[in-house]
Structure 1
């Protein structure tokens, strides 16, 4: 039996597995350690992963990438609309307010939800793992951003479940990174706790977390983030610069051609990497559009000037994470910088100035999350014997609980799980009610979550109570913030029951429901 860790990135996915010799990153069919998070629909078949990325230029309007940005989001969210402008596929609003992606497959137009596209990716990654390990794969731990809402976390679980995976935990990206760091770190200073900051600059987002390390355990003190600041935003700065330049120089409107946009964005991403190692770099593309060759040139100094606004935003989540942890920069022992977007020299220079110390890059920037996920899966699996190490994560949001009118609650509209609450946690509350009792979980502080996020998490309905008219039952409800960071009712027990039967417990999460049976066809 194998245990797997998945890092589903916005651009690439990484699979790690625990073996006797340690943690290995699996290679895909092209012998690459990273698999593109791309699904492309051809005329007669689907192309997944590396094949999907290779087919994207041939089928730009039938290629879905960056699906991570669309999971569990509403179509009318302004951020979603900005993301959809970067995708050449046709989209529409679903009957539940979600996103529908229109794709032609087998000469018919199909409408897919983002969770279905994600399920296709999971199926492909599972196939890669089973091919490499020579056996079935089931138990896994999946890394998710700390800013994911309850609905987004459930969508990840559903997408993994419908392809036969068994997610034993959803773990925050920086928590997985911290686990891989703490397990193998042997030279912590003695004499007290050690505080370490983890800064993960990914393709589409930036996450900052502060952890405290002691002998045999790690505790996450705070999470902060900018959901719309990542490596692709620096690519977009170059893209807009050269799109405007080519319009003046060649009278060419790149925005009017989906294939030209894809090629220019890919070239700008490569140009950014060249500028990370050189002070200047050229840009040359053959037959970009209208059979015209284009060329350009930019210096690193000019690029940093164009991206100055993005660089300034990096300081905000760093300062927020320090404030939430109650620390100053002098108390931080080390700053670990990871993520695919962390290699830009200007970013390292800015963070070095902010934390007043040299940054550390002891972890593999692209693989650390998947490796930490695999380690956590081995720790939770009864099959493996691994080093005893305690991992305590914390909730990035404050979660409250409200009730119907007439329901007597010990703490009406109170914060049930405050920000920083350990994960997992559970609390037992006592209620009185008759007939149907309705509880609603919500994000207590909208300012803590991403902009545009609905404050509603879910509605719990308990009942009906069968008894004499006007009588009330007293019952205890245990509400859990589980390992996935999801709010659930763990149990409900009647403590005073004069002629009552507690017969039904129903749950409808967020503003819409998702059912596994409706999604099964995506892997057929």
Structure 2
């Protein structure tokens, strides 16, 4: 048996395993370290991962991607409604308010839920792991965003269980990154704790945490996020710019063609990476639409001007994490910048201005979450012996508990676990009741949640046993 860490991104997945001599990132069938988070349903078979991404152009309306944005959410969620506008597959609302994905497979119409699609993806990653290790895989730790609600976390656990995995824990992305950073940090000062800010700019979200490091100990002081800001938003800026240019120059409306949209978005993503290292970049696409070749050109200055509003938004969660941690900016020893969208130079400049120091890139931007999850799995599993290192994360939201008679903790606004409370943690509650009663757990402060997310967690009906 092996211990595994999974980082399920919006576009790519990374698998990391702990071996006796360290941590390895596994290669897929194409000998690549990242596997596309894509499931494509062809006419005769199903393609997942790299094969799914390769088949997406042939079957655009039967290719499911970005499932991380949909899992555990309701169909009427405003963020879901914005997402389905650009996704090529058809969706509808389920009877329970969830999301249904409609597509054709083997010549018939099929309906899947995001949990089922995610389970297919987990099964594929499990197969890759077992093929590489030549041994069964069960125990794992899965990275998740800090803004995930209880419903989304349970959906991840359900999908992993369906695929035959045994998740030991779901770990926040920034906490996993911090663990991979701190456990190997041997030059910590003896005079006091070291405070590090971790900024993770992914494909569809931005997450920030402030971590406190001491010898043999790590504690997350605060989490902050923007669940609607990531690298894809910068891609969309370029997409909108060139879509307008092509309509003007070539009389091509790419919005009217699914394949043209997919090809232009892919080209804009590559262009964004080129602009990260160059002051200007060209765009050339053969036969984009109506058998017309198109070309364009943009300077980095123009790109930064078009995306100036997004650049300002990146700093908001960083400032919030600082405030929630209770630390002045001068106490932050270093800033670690990771994530697929972190390579834009103007983002680095903004963070350097905020924290008063240049952000570091000592960690692998794409693999750090998976590596941290694999380390946590090794620490939780009895298979490996790992040196003593305490990991203490914190609650990103305030959690409350109420009964039929109202909030139980009236002195604390009904809050059972306040935001920033270290976990794992527990509380013992005593109730004096003579009849059946109802308890409801919820997020106590809706303003802390991502936009449009319900504050309800779960409800419990407690019955009384009578002994004769």
User: Do the two structures share a fold, i.e. TM-score over 0.5?
Assistant: yes
Counterparts in 2 of 1:117-516, with a 5 A limit?
Answer: 117-405=117-405, 409=408, 411=410, 414-466=414-466, 499=467
Structure 1 residue matching 2:61: 3-state secondary structure: helix
Residues 401-426 of structure 1: CA distance to partner in whole angstroms, max 9, x if unpaired? Answer: 01013x89565962000001111111
Structure 1 residue matching 2:431: 3-state secondary structure: strand
Find the aligned partners of 1:109 and 1:464 in 2 and give their Cα distance: 48
Q: Which residue of 2 aligns with 1:514?
A: none
Residues 177-228 of structure 1: CA distance to partner in whole angstroms, max 9, x if unpaired? Answer: 0000001111123300110000000000000000000010000000000001
Q: Per the alignment, do residues 408 and 43 of structure 1 end up closer, same or farther by CA in structure 2, a change over 3 Å counting?
A: closer
Residues 240-287 of structure 1: CA distance to partner in whole angstroms, max 9, x if unpaired? Answer: 000011111111110010000000000000100111111111001000
Q: Which residue of 2 aligns with 1:64?
A: 64
1:9 maps onto 2:9 in alignment: yes
How far off is 1:333 after superposition? 0.3
Find the aligned partners of 1:313 and 1:245 in 2 and give their Cα distance: 26
Q: Which moved more, 1:423-432 or 1:221-230?
A: 423-432
Residues 71-97 of structure 1: CA distance to partner in whole angstroms, max 9, x if unpaired? Answer: 111111111111111101010000011
How far off is 1:236 after superposition? 0.5
Q: Which moved more, 1:365-374 or 1:186-195?
A: 186-195
Find the aligned partners of 1:345 and 1:123 in 2 and give their Cα distance: 37
Unaligned runs of 5+ in 1: 467-498, 501-524
Find the aligned partners of 2:71 and 2:346 in 1 and give their Cα distance: 31
Residues 416-462 of structure 1: CA distance to partner in whole angstroms, max 9, x if unpaired? Answer: 00001111111111112234221000000011110111010000111
Find the aligned partners of 1:180 and 1:292 in 2 and give their Cα distance: 48
Q: Per the alignment, do residues 410 and 261 of structure 1 end up closer, same or farther by CA in structure 2, a change over 3 Å counting?
A: closer
Counterparts in 2 of 1:14-33, with a 5 A limit?
Answer: 14-33=14-33
Structure 1 residue matching 2:303: 3-state secondary structure: helix
Instruction: Name the Cα RMSD after superposition.
Output: 1.2
Contact 1:38–1:52 (CA under 8 A) maintained in structure 2:
yes
Contact 1:435–1:465 (CA under 8 A) maintained in structure 2:
no
Find the aligned partners of 1:382 and 1:411 in 2 and give their Cα distance: 42
How far off is 1:387 after superposition? 1.3
Q: Per the alignment, do residues 3 and 244 of structure 1 end up closer, same or farther by CA in structure 2, a change over 3 Å counting?
A: same
Contact 1:410–1:430 (CA under 8 A) maintained in structure 2:
no
Q: Per the alignment, do residues 291 and 444 of structure 1 end up closer, same or farther by CA in structure 2, a change over 3 Å counting?
A: same
Unaligned runs of 5+ in 2: none
Find the aligned partners of 2:162 and 2:395 in 1 and give their Cα distance: 27
Structure 2 residue matching 1:360: 3-state secondary structure: coil
Find the aligned partners of 1:180 and 1:14 in 2 and give their Cα distance: 15
1:112 maps onto 2:119 in alignment: no
Structure 2 residue matching 1:342: 3-state secondary structure: coil
How far off is 1:159 after superposition? 0.3
Contact 1:408–1:432 (CA under 8 A) maintained in structure 2:
no
Residues 66-121 of structure 1: CA distance to partner in whole angstroms, max 9, x if unpaired? Answer: 10000111111111111111101010000011110001111111111101100000
Residues 356-404 of structure 1: CA distance to partner in whole angstroms, max 9, x if unpaired? Answer: 1011110000000000000000000011001110000000000000101
Contact 1:352–1:359 (CA under 8 A) maintained in structure 2:
yes
Q: Per the alignment, do residues 119 and 408 of structure 1 end up closer, same or farther by CA in structure 2, a change over 3 Å counting?
A: closer
Contact 1:39–1:46 (CA under 8 A) maintained in structure 2:
yes
Structure 2 residue matching 1:457: 3-state secondary structure: strand
Find the aligned partners of 2:426 and 2:91 in 1 and give their Cα distance: 40
Q: Which residue of 2 aligns with 1:520?
A: none
Find the aligned partners of 1:465 and 1:250 in 2 and give their Cα distance: 76
Residues 10-38 of structure 1: CA distance to partner in whole angstroms, max 9, x if unpaired? Answer: 01000000001100000000000000000
Contact 2:408–2:414 (CA under 8 A) maintained in structure 1:
no
Q: What is the TM-score when the length of structure 2 is the normalising length?
A: 0.98
Structure 1 stretches of 4+ with a deviation exceeding 3 A read 407-413
Structure 2 residue matching 1:3: 3-state secondary structure: strand
- Alignment: residue pair count: 467
How far off is 1:465 after superposition? 4.2
Residues 459-518 of structure 1: CA distance to partner in whole angstroms, max 9, x if unpaired? Answer: 01111544xxxxxxxxxxxxxxxxxxxxxxxxxxxxxxxx48xxxxxxxxxxxxxxxxxx
Structure 2 residue matching 1:138: 3-state secondary structure: strand
Find the aligned partners of 1:383 and 1:461 in 2 and give their Cα distance: 39
Contact 2:409–2:415 (CA under 8 A) maintained in structure 1:
no
